[in-house]
Amino acid sequence: MELQQAIRQRRSIGKVLDLPVEKEKIERILESAVWAPNHHHTEPWKFFVMTGEGRRVLGSAYANAALDGLGDLDEEEKEKRLSREEAKAMRAPVVIAVGCSPSTNPRVIRSEELAAVHCAVQNILLTAYEEGLGAVWRSGEPMQHPSMKSAFGLKEGEDLVGFIYIGYTGMIAPEGKRIAAKDKTFWIS
């Protein structure tokens, strides 16, 4: 597969089949991630691969994060909501939690560490596509909750940048649309 083809044709695929994904494919995907650019060669990424029952770690963390917002709901409604939160972890046969462990070197800028991990995520998405898999990068407020950080053993200063859901897809990805680069480019000479 040509790089430009992968860049233009890869789409976020949130609905995947409940079929196992070969460990070798996930290893190739992760190996591509570690080749992302990073300042000072800090390699600030961490990957937590969850399959099978291991996804329950994420499900429990989703439920714990949701507890704060359930307030005055009756017990039956709370249980339904918590069950839905736990089920989020089971939407794909493989879920990779991606963390950022910034360098403590005073020369290293935190935003550059996060940018490097985001580049690693892009490598994951492109390589998953190349491997014939569907993938989607999910983020949002639950990632910032202390129960999420605790679930993955993240220390003070470490953060989650996303959950990558990966699996085989039975759907045809929608065609992409973008505004042409020339319409977003400003040349300064």
Known binding-site residues for FMN equal: 10-12, 39, 137-139
Kindly give, in sequence order, each residue whose CB lies less than 8 Å from that of residue 131, ignoring residues fewer than 6 positions away: 25, 28, 29
Tell me the two tokens of residue 34: 């570690």
How far apart CA 18 and CA 12 sit, in angstroms, is 17
- Residue pair 148/55 in contact (Cβ under 8 Å)? The answer is no
What is the rounded (10 degree) CA torsion for 30, 84, 60, 98? 20
User: What angle separates helix 75-87 from helix 56-67, to the nearest 10 degrees?
Assistant: 140
Judging by DSSP bridges, how do beta strands 45-51 and 94-100 pair with one another? antiparallel
Question: Cα torsion for 60, 63, 65, 69, to the nearest 10°?
Answer: -170
Tell me phi and psi for residue 45, to 5 degrees.
-90, 155
The enclosing H or E element of 165 equals strand 159-167
Residue ranges for the known binding site are 10-12, 39, 137-139
